[in-house]
Amino acid sequence: MIEYRLNGPASQERIRIRLMAALRENRFPQSILIDGPVGIGKKALAMEIAQALQCTNPSVRPCGNCFGCKMATDTGVTDNWVVPMEAKEASARNAADVSAGSSAKTIQDFKQAYIEEITKNPYRVDIFSAGAVISVELIRTMTASFAMKGDRVRVVIIAEADRMNDSAANAFLKTLEEVPPNTYFILTTSSREKLLQTIRSRCLALHLPPLTDEEVRQEAIRVGGEEFDESTLTDDVIGLAVGSPGMALYYAEHAKNWSPLAVDFIEKSLSQDYTDLFFKLEDSGLEDPAIVNRFLEVLSFLITDLLRQQSGAPLRIPEATGSVNLERYPQVGASALEAALVSVQETMSRIASRRMAAVTCLQNLSLKLFEGYK
């Protein structure tokens, strides 16, 4: 019997054991959906499954050396992936239609660049822009490539499958209704509720759980490489990550600026020192709606931690929370903090809808935060 080995953090071992059993017993489903929080390793697991399915080693899979393993890990084999792309990238010409010697970027060039970034760091949370989608053209390109598959096993990873627009989702559903022989689909998503229910019902659902804080630290250091500064993985950064190595790496880069800004946001809003706060927000470079909402996640986390502090519960970001001086505002109790949390969540929804400039939303939030308690 062939032995299958899928490696990864201990917190996700139950999922891997289930998958290895299905592979061993030759009952692996042709479509699986891996969901879970952002940056916890869904793409990493998908890549390892793809390699195991395409491996031809007679004893241990994936072996990493056979032709199938090399095809699965070759970033130049863009047919193995469907990824969200911006409109200008998805509308680029196909490599087969570009004249010899042309320097114009093709759709394969754009896709390969994304695949290389995923392969380099499968935990990364900011590879795709907020406007990138999986269009119907990308799904049609995928299905057109099936004719060139031959007899080999084919695995297609659809990254962030919830970004399929309506036309793409309906086109993919038709493919799922009659999956070609020896073809497997692995979908990853952090928002499974955004996928068509009919697509979800045709896939084996796997929920990937978050990692422990120590596993997050270990994985972030491993993926970060030799040049990564481990000192940036502070206790606050690990707390903000909530079990996600991808978020830990992201906040390792941004938290040193955003945590003090979140503290200022609360204190200057309470003291009604709006002019100074507005200047700080302008200097922060917070303009892109997706990035602004990441900052608001830090602010939301800080407010939640202040609630924990008042109830005596353990803090997730002790350094930032300890630097907020609420003693000057005895009127700010649990009710005020809960109301502030709702205001932050409403602002995040407003920013995500892009109906108003992000900086304007931040200014309005500072005026509204702790309204009635100032």
Residue 306 CA to its chain's centroid (Å): 27
Quote the CA–CA distance of 330 and 341 in Å, as a whole number.
18
> Residue 97: is its pLDDT beyond 90?
no
Q: Who's near 28: CB < 8 A, 6+ residues apart?
A: 19, 22, 53, 184
**170 φ/ψ angles, rounded to the nearest 5 degrees:** -70, -35
Position 355 scores a pLDDT of 80
> Residue 101: is its pLDDT beyond 60?
no
Q: Report the pLDDT averaged over residues 113-125.
A: 96
Question: Closest Cα partner for 281 from 360, 368, 369, 370?
Answer: 360
| Sequence letter at residue 211 | L
Hey, is 3 helix, strand or coil?
strand
Residue 49 CA to its chain's centroid (Å): 19
> Residue 302: is its pLDDT beyond 90?
yes
Position 145 scores a pLDDT of 84
pLDDT in tens, 230-247: 999 999 999 999 999 999
pLDDT in tens, 156-176: 999 999 999 999 999 999 999
Question: Closest Cα partner for 255 from 301, 304, 214?
Answer: 301
Domains recognised in the chain with CATH numbers: 3-207 (3.40.50.300), 225-368 (1.20.272)
Quote the CA–CA distance of 265 and 267 in Å, as a whole number.
6
Residue 102's pLDDT band, with cuts at 50, 70 and 90, is: low
Position 148 scores a pLDDT of 67
**27 φ/ψ angles, rounded to the nearest 5 degrees:** -130, 35
Quote the CA–CA distance of 273 and 270 in Å, as a whole number.
8
252 in Cβ contact with 278 (< 8 Å): no
Q: Report the pLDDT averaged over residues 33-45.
A: 97
Quote the CA–CA distance of 335 and 340 in Å, as a whole number.
9
> Residue 226: is its pLDDT beyond 60?
yes
Is the model's pTM score more than 0.75? Answer: yes
Q: Report the pLDDT averaged over residues 282-288.
A: 90
Quote the CA–CA distance of 46 and 41 in Å, as a whole number.
9
Hey, is 276 helix, strand or coil?
helix
317 in Cβ contact with 237 (< 8 Å): no
- Point out which residues pair with 184 in neighbouring strands: 155
| Sequence letter at residue 99 | S
Position 247 scores a pLDDT of 97
Residue with tokens 């269009």: 135
Quote the CA–CA distance of 117 and 124 in Å, as a whole number.
8
Token pair recorded at residue 364: 């309005």
106 in Cβ contact with 93 (< 8 Å): yes
Strand 204-207 relative to strand 183-189, pairing? unpaired
- What is the 8-class DSSP label of residue 106? P
Residue 144 CA to its chain's centroid (Å): 28
Token pair recorded at residue 49: 């499954």
